[in-house]
Amino acid sequence: MRSLKVLILEHNPFQLMALHQMLNAIGIYNVLTAPSLAAALCSLGHRGAVDIAICDPQLKGGDGVALIQRLAVERQARALVLLGTVAPSLQNDLEGLLQQHPLQLLGRLQIPVSAVLMRDLLDRYLNALHQPLEV
């Protein structure tokens, strides 16, 4: 798989480890993991923008939404995968934010995350990168 840089924001250490291992098994080794918004921002500051960010927008303390807003406004990610169930009101807010900024929503995955579905989202992202531009 093409070398992608992925950021995972997840408070639960077990889920964070499982997602990291899943990405490694798929062939993605440049994975930044963060248990908090502060850690995610620190990683982005030191290692630069990512191709894909993975997070639950409904993390306690608002970390998920804050990260998504930061990624969109500062263009620190090209694409986003949402984890978990998203409340309809929050989903509308996120869709509005994503329409205003060049952050592509790849999809939503339920926890526990299926490796097959994760691979499908990543493959679609990579395939879209290789499509010729329409003039």
The H or E element spanning position 64 is helix 63-74
Average pLDDT of the residues in 83-100: 86
Mean pLDDT of the chain: 91
Which contiguous run of DSSP H or E holds residue 51? strand 50-55
Q: Which uninterrupted H or E stretch holds 128? A: helix 115-129
pTM of the shown model:
0.91
**Contact of 81 with 52, CB cutoff 8 Å:** yes
All structural domains of the chain, each given as residue ranges with its CATH number in brackets, are: 5-129 (3.40.50.2300)
Task: Give residue-wise pLDDT tens across range 63-84.
Answer: 999 999 999 999 999 999 999 9
Q: Could you tell me the pLDDT band of residue 134, with boundaries at 50, 70 and 90?
A: low
The closest alpha carbon to 66, from 95, 32, 40, 48, belongs to 40
Indicate if the pLDDT at residue 130 is higher than 80: no
- CA–CA dist 42, 45 (Å, integer): 5
pLDDT of residue 113 exceeding 90? yes
How many Å apart are CA 39 and CA 80, to the nearest integer?
18
